[in-house]
Structure 1
Amino acid sequence: MPEQRTGAVDPPGLDLTRFETFFESVRPGAVTAPLRAEVIAGGKSNLTYEVTDGEHRWIVRRPPLGHVLATAHDMGREYRVMTALLPTDVPVPATYALCEDPDVLGAPFYVMERVEGTPYRLASQLEPLGAERTATISARMVDTLAALHRVDPGEVGLDGFGRPEGFLARQVRRWKKQLDSSRSRELRGADELFASLSERLPEESAPGIVHGDYRLDNLLVDDGDRVAAVIDWEMATLGDPLTDVALLLVYQRMASLDSGSAVADASRAPGFLHDDAMLERYAAGSDRDLSDIGFYLGLAHFKLAVILEGIHYRYTHGQTVGAGFDTVGAMVEPLIAAGNASMKEHR
């Protein structure tokens, strides 16, 4: 039975007594003292908690409170892909338990290892390290992505994890449909970009594991500048891995787009690898053909523009809470313009 906890306040969404009862049922003896916990990441994405008994520490992930789309916050999906990747060269946290019974905490959740590391997001975090270390970190970020894309999904038990056939065409249709559902203003170049993507669908790269949101702040980097863990797998699927490569580059380009609204600018730090160097390094660690990278860059720009337009739409309709939403809309047209430019530049 869980020990009596006195004076402790459970964080929202995590009843520690109920959690401990479950965790002890699947990991007997793991907990050695009363538990306490704190939220270390929250918001519209999944909630992340650090739980400790004073001797051991674990990470618990669950969907956000309130309205939840199961397809967007699939705990079993994150748990499955990380568990599958444990024996590979891709660094992921060890996984300890998955609870799919919503009666325990009000939603499914899983428990994983707490990995020490920094999710670098800003140039101001990297600049004190110096250009050489920053170059090493950004290079290892690319190497880790190439390692992920070398994994054979079937060999690690991920057959059926996604539908890789027709992946790119579905992505183009999906993001156009999403844009149409949240468009409330004229967006210069949006129809042109969609038409170009529809007309220029390339032969797809060999199917692989797609992270879906691969960027520096979804990596934990240790004190030796090594990638200790890749985290936040909620968008993972099987598909064309070059979509990960392009999205990584576009995330970095957002720091220099003429919008004044970049929220992550790590790529501005001296020493951080530029686009061409990243593509060369990825190519050296992969056998994938990058000759159609212009299409993938166009698609990545389109995807992010649509996501931000959706946020802008909710902001203008009073459906967002918090600061910073007022500048999101300014990024949409620069992203679309950059997408069209990428399509033309790499034709």
Structure 2
Amino acid sequence: MICPFCDQNLLLKERPNRTCSHCKRRFALDPKTNSLRMSDLRVRRLLVKLTDGGRLKISVDQLGSPALPRTGPVKGESPVVEALGCLWVPLLVGIVMIIVGLSAEDMGGFAIAGSVLVLIAVLGLSAALIFGGKEQKREQARHPLSGFRGMMATDWKNVYGSLPPGVVDDFPYRKVYLPEGARIALLCPDGAIAAFLVANGIPERYGVAVTAHADRLPEEMPVVVLHDASAPGCRLVIRTREALPGRTVIDAGLPPRAVMRTPGAPARRGYKPAKDLIEWLGESGTLTKAELDWLAKGWTVSLVAIRPAKLLAAVSKTVERLAAATRTEPERREAEAVGFLTWPGEAGR
């Protein structure tokens, strides 16, 4: 790697304890010791690109997102389903052995051996249900950028004293960020994106109250919901509308159709959503069959993976047009019917 201070090309043995053997200065990140292969220089290059040359402020997650692999670390089915695939053979063999042993004379030992196999299979399945289910919940709860967050909060701050210029922490407001004169409420459960919007002046510029919690929405205001292209994200819009009957609730995206067929879209694949969630989304009538099939396979595109300048422009356009649309009833109905955000790959459709 290249030393971020003296530009020397360092072998692994020449940078013990993340310290350059030439200039003796300590750097924050060694690409050989973190899973995202991040270095100080790579962080700086990403920072210039993602902040549009310093024009924007971004969150820690937006900074680390380009380093994530397109496919998540967990593919396919859950540990319980994988255990079933391994255990059905001894279970079937054991059952056959029991039947043969009980139906033939002098085959009692055969039945006993079959019973042992069945017992082992049942115990294995029980263990998979208990421990595999817990592990699946831990994996689902663990954010893919948690490691990067930790490196920036500890290693980077220990060396440089603070986050890089232009990088902000997650949404720090427990309830809602409510600027004076707010007329629109924006719900975004991703604290990194909520912080990004606040840091770049969306609330003050357009009169927008920002919250990451559905139960913290200000009363009476029309609501814009900003979410990932994911099954939980699509569910959030439907539940928000159900919880706020009579209120204008705009689904601002990210819609699956905008990214699922877009070349180069930053899609990641993890655990498949529950079948009943996909069925429930289908019954809502808000998604096409192609979108439901894409979501059912575990594909998602996170808001933090969208280029910050494009995301900011899209959100700005949404709230600006909604503010204008609320002035007259016909304009409001038209806005609610067509939506606003034009995401990557939707132009020209």
Normalised TM-score (structure 1): 0.27
Q: Which has the larger radius of gyration?
A: 2
Normalised TM-score (structure 2): 0.27
Q: Which structure's residues are more often helix, by fraction? A: 2
